[in-house]
Amino acid sequence: MNLDWTALGQVTAVSIGVTVAVVVVFALGVLGLARYEGARYEGARYEGARYEGAKEAGAGDAGGTSALSLAQAGLCFLACAAVVAYGIYLIVPQFH
Amino acid sequence: MGRMDHITFLVAVVIVTALAFDFTNGFHDTANAMATSIATGALKPKVAVVISGLLNIVGAFLSTEVARTISGGIVDDALVSPGMIFAGLVGAILWNLLTWLVGLPSSSSHALFGGLIGAVWVGAGSDGVHFDKVVEKILVPAVASPLVAGVAALLATYLAYKITARSRRKSVEKGFRFGQIASASLVSLAHGTNDAQKTMGVITLTLISAGALGHDAGPPVWVIASAGLAIGLGTYLGGWRIIRTMGKGLTEIESPQGFAAEAASTTVILTSAHLGFALSTTQVCSGGILGAGLGRRLAEVRWGVAGRMVAAWLITLPAAALVGGVSASVVKHGGDFGTAVVALVGAALAAGIVLVSRRNPVSAHNVNDTHEVTIRTEPPARVGTAA
């Protein structure tokens, strides 16, 4: 019996690394999406407030934030989709 | 199938038993892929089992590299007779059903290996069992893989909550639920390519040993189709009792945790397969769920349930080996008559277990209602001590 400690170590390192990376990237995507939804919500509230003649300060960059957040979400989810595609590639032997 | 006359009574019984095992395998392991998605509401229970069942069938057809050995070297394949395979399968099926009854996720692979080890030990002597391989291929991965998945899920869960801590909960929950659909589907597909293969390998090697197929023959299409359908049907019918334990019993799961647990399980399964480690999907997924439970601060992990589950993992192999060994000795001394007796007794015990489960059924409708799986009519204080 000879245990392949190197392979075991590799599985451990790769598994933990990939899992944490995928979940962190996905979480950043979710964060972007949540900000985008939040910004739209704030934006709608701001529009309503201006209509009633309220103060304008501090709400000017809502549009910029929202576009940036959406781009962040899109990029992160795309990266995760690529990892899923690689997972399918690994599972299906016909692709090898 | 021009060589049908080679298919003796024993071979026919082995094929039917192998498909029955395949069915219990699917139904025992639905929880691995789908339990957390069902618990967090990412997928409706019925939708989850349909997706999982279909992906299992797809997975069965995808794999061309059929297992050439039944056991991966754990027993001496040259010594294995159809009678021993039959006895081993009986042990594996009964153990799978018993753990399902008490709602404990245990490894179907370990049940199969255990049954085979017991049957070969009795049928061909202890020389037929390679104990060093048992340690290398079963014991070490069984300890290491849930730990690795657990640590990965723990870190990932902690970071996921940290990153999204200041965002709207509703958006976050929704986003991770969406991700869970993808991660759960990957687990199902990987499961189909691995586990249906085992049954195909068992049937194919039985047919070869009976002379119905040439040496080095691959599995005939009807073997692939029936093995795929058996595991898919089992998955579709869903082991709701185990789904409840894995989705609700170990810890209360939220969608970020479910995603982290499934991501960890998928990664561990795929990297191990790539590097040639055999491991139990069940144990990996349970480890991932426990890790995800610990990663969220203040999340409650029910250590009592986790302890019973680990106890079931420890007993799985020897228990299946014991039943396999007893069955093998009956088959060895009783011939076809003994085989029929074992088949009838096994079927009666299986029917009995299913009847007992009816007293307190768990189905798609009530799977998320509570976190306990009970086997008595009145709700008891704790799950039975059968495990």
Query: Within an 8 Å CB–CB cutoff, is residue B136 touching chain A?
Result: yes
Q: Over the stretch B44-78, which tens digit does the pLDDT of each residue have?
A: 999 999 999 999 888 888 865 555 556 667 888 77
Answer yes or no: is B374 within a domain. no
DSSP states of B99-153 as a string?
HHHTT----HHHHHHHHHHHHHHHHH-GGGB-HHHHIIIIIHHHHHHHHHHHHHH
User: How far apart (Å, rounded) are the C-alpha atoms in residues B86 and B118?
Assistant: 12
How many domains does chain A contain in total?
Answer: 1
Cβ of B172 under 8 Å from any chain A Cβ?
yes
- Domain count along chain B: 1
The answer to whether residue B36 is domain-embedded is: yes
Q: Which two tokens stand for residue A16?
A: 């933990």
Decide if B371 is inside a domain: no
Tell me what pLDDT residue B381 has: 46
Report chain B residues whose CB lies below 8 A from the CB of A12. Answer: 144, 148
Does residue A30 lie within any of the structural domains?
yes
pLDDT tops 60 at residue A60: no
Mutate to test the interface with A, among B270, B281, B283 (most CBs of A within 10 A): B270
Task: Note whether residue A19 is domain-resident.
Answer: no
Interface list for A 75-94 with B (CB within 8 A): 80-81, 84, 87-88, 90-94
Q: Which of B163, B200, B269 to mutate to test the interface with A (most CBs of A within 10 A)?
A: B163
| Residue of B148, B169, B181, B189 to mutate for A, most A C-beta atoms under 10 A | B148
Residue A83 forms part of a structural domain: yes
B48 located within any domain: yes
Q: Which residues of B touch A84 (CB under 8 A)?
A: 182-183, 186
Please report whether residue B379 resides in a domain: no
Q: DSSP characters for chain A?
A: ----HHHHHHHHHHHHHHHHHHHHHHHHHHHHHHHHHHHHHHHHHHHHHHHTT---TT-TTHHHHHHHHHHHHHHHHHHHHHHHHHHHHHH-GGG-
**pLDDT at B347 (0 to 100):** 92
Among residues 276-295 of chain B, which lie with CB inside 8 Å of chain A? 276-277
| Complex prediction ipTM | 0.82
Q: Can you give the length of chain B in residues? A: 387
The reply to whether A89 falls in a domain is yes
Residues of chain B with pLDDT under 70: 1-6, 63-72, 274-278, 298-299, 376-387
The tens digit of pLDDT for each residue in A1-45 reads 566 788 888 889 999 999 999 999 999 999 999 888 887 777 666
Q: Is the pLDDT of residue A54 over 50?
A: no
- Considering the entire predicted model, what is its pTM? 0.85
User: Does residue B52 belong to any structural domain of this protein?
Assistant: yes
Structure tokens at A4: 């392949």
CA dihedral of B61, B62, B68, B70, whole degrees rounded to 10: -60
Domain assignment present for A12: no
Question: How many residues are there in chain A?
Answer: 96
3-state secondary structure of B251: strand
User: Do the domain assignments include residue B384?
Assistant: no
Element (H, E) at B46: helix B45-62
Residue B123 belongs to what domain range? Answer: 4-358
pLDDT of residue B63: 67
Residue A75 belongs to domain spanning: 25-95
Q: Mind listing the pLDDT tens digit for each residue in A76-95?
A: 999 999 999 998 888 877 78
